[in-house]
Amino acid sequence: MRVLALLLVAFSGCGYHVAGHADLMPKTIKTIAVPAFGNPTTRFEIARMLPEDVTREFISRTRYQIISDPTQADAVLKGAVTNYAAYPTVVDPVSGRATGVQVIVNLQITLTERATGKVLYQRSSFEFRERYTISINPQAYFDESGTAMARVSKDASRSIVTAILENF
């Protein structure tokens, strides 16, 4: 019986938690603002989607209230798309046209406590990749780059919120 009690005490403080569900942010943070992301690239869609997707992730996974006014928030999450690149990965040997593309998006993220100016989380280079295909048949052509950007935005948002909550 003592062994069982000893094991229970030992394992109760092991710090085990499910990844992506810890909350290591200061308890004073109750509201977060997620303003528009900066974007010097020519690909505007990703910077437009990211704040919306990050907001959805925070709402669905955390207790924080997301507000629109950064001057009223306890913390402000600023982001920027620092680079966008698309490279052909598969080429049709007959036509010489690309049939597969790899997209690489780099982000910079900073979460700051508004009252003190303390940086709670910062990552200067988040990299996300996504592949999509291009039809070589002009009649069946469908531009999948927009859906690839949506997938990058959702993946990036999950990773950003997880990283902030886990404080990595």
Q: What is the mean pLDDT of residues 126-143?
A: 77
Which of 22-31, 74-83, 102-111 shows the lowest mean pLDDT across its residues? Answer: 22-31
Confidence of residue 18 (pLDDT cuts 50, 70, 90): very low
Counted domains in the chain: 1
pLDDT of 36-52, one tens digit each? 999 999 888 999 999 99
Collapsed DSSP state (helix, strand, coil) of residue 140: helix
Measured between alpha carbons, how far is 111 from 70 in angstroms, rounded to an integer? Answer: 12
Q: What is the CATH number of the domain that holds 132?
A: 3.30.160.150
The better pLDDT of the pair 91, 11 is held by: 91
**Among residues 122, 39, 37, 32, which one has the least CA distance to residue 69?**
32
Measured between alpha carbons, how far is 16 from 18 in angstroms, rounded to an integer? Answer: 7
Q: Supply the range of the domain harboring residue 128.
A: 2-166
